[in-house]
Chains A and B, each alone.
Chain A
Amino acid sequence: MTTIYVPGDSGALSLGADAVCRALSREAAERRLEVKVVRNGSRGAYWLEPMLEVSSERGRLAYGPVSVADVPGLFDARWLEGGAHRLLLGPTDELPWFANQQRLTFERVGVIDPRSVADYVAHGGYQGLRRALSMDPAAVVDRIVRSGLRGRGGAAFPTGIKWKTVLEQPPGQKYVTCNADEGDSGTFSDRMLIEGDPLSLIEGMTIAAIAVGATHGYIYLRAEYPHAWRTLTQAIAAAYTADYLGGDVMGSGRRFELEIRVGAGAYICGEETSMLESLEGRRGEVRVRPPLPAVKGLFGRPTIVNNVITLATVPLIVREGAEFYAGFGMGRSRGTLPLQLAGNIKRGGLIERAFGLSLREILYDYGGGSGSGRPIRAVQIGGPLGAYVPAAQFDTPVDYEALAAIGAMLGHGGIVAFDDTVDMARMARYAMEFCAIESCGKCTPCRIGSTRGVEIIDHIIAGHDPQGNLERLEALCELMVQGSLCGLGGMAPFPVQSAMKHFREDFSARAQH
């Protein structure tokens, strides 16, 4: 029987994948054709979604983007036998977008049925955990240290070192928590991973628990991701049923309980101490550090806090070895990075490659330039707190150090493109406005400063004393960077400062009239 893959990823759904799925089931039934439909994740080529795949001797064949109206024609063209059709793209793995990627963390996303433990295991799943269970906990931690894996949530802290701290705390209740708040605009890799291969996250958390001696885990998932919640809930239930979670993990006698907690629409709850407050059922106000969460975290106990992508990469590292993973990348940025390309771009989506690709390659070779056909004037990297980078710096390689050297940051790996119609003073204003909306209110530079920032930029836009106000804005940014307790107030000035630095004309042009 032929298998047809119809993505159940919410991005694909947003382009009509469910309606296409219904249409093709109806059409197949009418033609008395037996097909098996699998709702996989997205492969991440969103300009081709809904991208359907048909199993064949030549591997999986991709068709896309498919609309309901195309369905009868696809059957007429005998697509179940790989028939030629205007929408036939070819074998998925050979499409240039995929062929040039190095998918490690995303090796199964879009490939398997995300809810099926059997499918997961058939594609290399749970080999890492099996391995970890046979190793000394310290050796597991050491493997993560040597892989060079750094946190993918934004701060890029070495994951193994964090785990080592938790391991070294005296025995007792410890926790593993996953930060699935994914608040950064322009990023969607956590969502795609959870919707496409949630068991890799579950396995990664289980390995972390085994390694540091934790018995309980929480996934803090943002409320804006109801589809991810559904898939993850089903995957956790399936893992329990198959004894990959619960009182006797893989027959080892070890226990690991895992549950989801849903956020409530506060960006600041992505900051790890705020997330812990929220997990405890309180306002998401940032905690003063020290103590570190690794020492005193959830309910006052030693706690691992890691991003979805960080944890989902762990099984592969344990399975393949530290050297395998560290063999990818450049300098101190080891391994691969799932980049997310969005905004005004022709071909947006997820690109997983070893660190080191230049912005230009990402934007033009993968992205195909702007969606509008106009020149790309700026990109914002790393979410709403990330700097704007002008076209003159597009040859910068994408790794932690190279971006830091030009005053930018990689963050969670989102790249948002803007064409030359963008008004950078407005984008700067938005950065301050966002900070004002999302500030947790604990410290003054952030809470009051962001509102002041909006007012000052409004004056600049209105042409009131632009020189004086630009100076005031620069001083305010400096104050926020220096005086804020956490990264929200401390980094919200980055987009503003970079806009002023690289796109000064947008702040002064209006001043002349």
Chain B
Amino acid sequence: MHTSAVDRNHDIRRILAQFKDRPGPLLEVLHTVQAAFGFIPPQSISLIAEHLNLSRAEVHGVVTFYHHFRCAPPGQHVLQLCRAESCQAVGAEALAAHARARLGVDFHESTPDGRFSLEPVYCLGNCACSPAVMLDGRPYGRVTPERLDALLREADRAAGGNG
């Protein structure tokens, strides 16, 4: 299942070639790397730095500045739960407590079985349908704890068969 380090380096080189002549390409490169692997593999940092003529510290500095970039693989399913004001006004904190208890993890963590990651977001632009979440990039609005349970169950079932 896992791509070997060699394959991975090959893929990263291909991505870098794709952005060769673009001005200020680092963010785009990182997005593409994360789309390919689910995170920014630590080994990719020096490759990227070398190709873009930057120091490793510069690349690392960019990766860590942005909340979106991950340095470790995420769970199979990523639940992003909005914690901003509009969602708070209709129970987002209770929903967050429920999600933490249900998954047994805190924000920025993944379940030990690797099934779910829980991530905070600060507004999904779906405030008129608060509380809002995204599960694997799909939006859900007016989410109650019961509805969240159903969504997680469904995701788990869809992923099922492998234990």
Contact = CB atoms under 8 A, between A and B. Distances in A.
A474 to B, nearest CB: 22
Interface in A259-276: 261-267
A261 B22 CA distance: 12
A343 B127 contact: yes
A416 to B, nearest CB: 5
Contact of B85 (A186, A223, A280, A299): A186
A183 B122 CA distance: 8
B130 A14 contact: no
A348 interface: yes
Interface in B18-68: 23-28, 30-31, 61-62, 65-68
B128 A280 contact: no
B121 to A, nearest CB: 6
Contacts of A371: 90
Interface in A374-408: 380, 384
B129 A343 contact: no
A282 B62 contact: yes
Given A185-B85, A264-B27, A281-B27, A340 B123 contact: no
A281 B25 contact: yes
Contacts of A98: none
Interface in A406-458: 414, 416-419, 422, 427, 430, 434, 437-438, 440
B54 to A, nearest CB: 9
A443 to B, nearest CB: 16
Given A299-B23, A342-B130, A416 B86 contact: yes
Given A280-B23, A281-B28, A416-B85, A46 B62 contact: no
A265 B126 contact: no
Most buried by A among B24, B87, B128: B128
A213 to B, nearest CB: 19
B89 interface: yes
Contacts of A299: 23-24
Nearest to A45: B128
B124 A224 contact: yes
Interface string A42-54: 0000110100000
Contact of A46 (B87, B122, B123, B129): B129
A10 B127 contact: no
B128 to A, nearest CB: 4
Contacts of A185: 84-87, 122-123, 127
A266 B65 contact: yes
A447 B134 CA distance: 29
B28 A224 contact: no
A438 B68 CA distance: 12
Given A281-B27, A283-B62, A10 B139 contact: yes
Given A15-B141, A185-B85, A371-B90, A340 B127 contact: yes
A417 B62 contact: no
Contacts of B122: 183, 185, 267, 384, 434, 437-438
A187 B23 contact: no
Contacts of B141: 11, 14-15, 46
Q: In which size bucket is the chain A interface?
A: 35 or more
Most buried by A among B26, B69, B86, B140: B86
A343 B90 contact: yes
B137 interface: yes
Nearest to B54: A281
Contact of A224 (B30, B87, B125): B125
Nearest to B88: A430
B129 A348 contact: yes
B77 interface: no
A306 to B, nearest CB: 19
Interface string B62-95: 1001111100000000000000111111100000
A343 B62 contact: no
A13 B138 CA distance: 8
Interface in B90-140: 90, 121-130, 132, 134, 137-140
Given A183-B123, A342-B130, A283 B65 contact: yes
A186 B27 contact: no
B132 A14 contact: yes
A191 interface: yes
A284 interface: yes
Nearest to A440: B65
A154 to B, nearest CB: 14
A324 to B, nearest CB: 29
A203 interface: no
B8 interface: no
Interface in A12-30: 13-15
27 contacts: A10-B126, A11-B125, A15-B141, A185-B85, A185-B86, A185-B122, A186-B85, A223-B31, A224-B134, A261-B28, A262-B28, A263-B66, A264-B27, A264-B31, A266-B68, A281-B24, A281-B27, A281-B28, A283-B61, A340-B128, A343-B130, A349-B128, A350-B128, A384-B85, A416-B86, A416-B89, A427-B85
Interface of A: 10-11, 13-15, 46-47, 49, 182-188, 190-191, 223-227, 261-267, 278-284, 299, 340-344, 348-350, 371-372, 380, 384, 414, 416-419, 422, 427, 430, 434, 437-438, 440
Interface of B: 23-28, 30-31, 61-62, 65-69, 84-90, 121-130, 132, 134, 137-142
Closest 3 pairs between A and B when the two form their complex, measured CB to CB = A185-B84, A264-B66, A281-B26
